[in-house]
Amino acid sequence: MDKREIFVKMASIEERIGDLYKEIGELKDVIVVLMEENAQLLVENQHLRNRLDKKKTGSQAKQKGTSIVAKEKAKKAVVGEGYDNLARLYAEGFHICNVHFGSLRKEGDCLFCLSFLSGGPQK
């Protein structure tokens, strides 16, 4: 092999590596989109399960008649739905804390938001 053949072969290898690097970047972007979609679907699935449980509880309460316990469960379900909506917003990348509410999260998780979601100190 002379120097020219080696140079041509190195250029070819370099081009293939560049193409592979580009393909890896595209696959990485697809994975990010799929992970975001998966997170949204998990939140939506949980929300639908909660609604189904709420409907089942409501139909059982109708059969047995309304009671104070059933009314308290309905109040808790309404609070749970709001909590689910906030959790969904946080999963979509928005702040839900009182410090930065509604703005996009740019640098990972927010301790204020996580404190709220975990049921931290309440006023």
- What are the binding residues? 95, 97, 110, 113
Q: How many CB atoms lie within 10 A of CB 95?
A: 19
CA distances from 42 to 35, 38, 84, 99, 104 (A): 10, 6, 11, 27, 20
Q: How far apart are CA 103 and CA 112, in angstroms?
A: 13
Which residues are documented as binding site for Zn(2+)?
95, 97, 110, 113
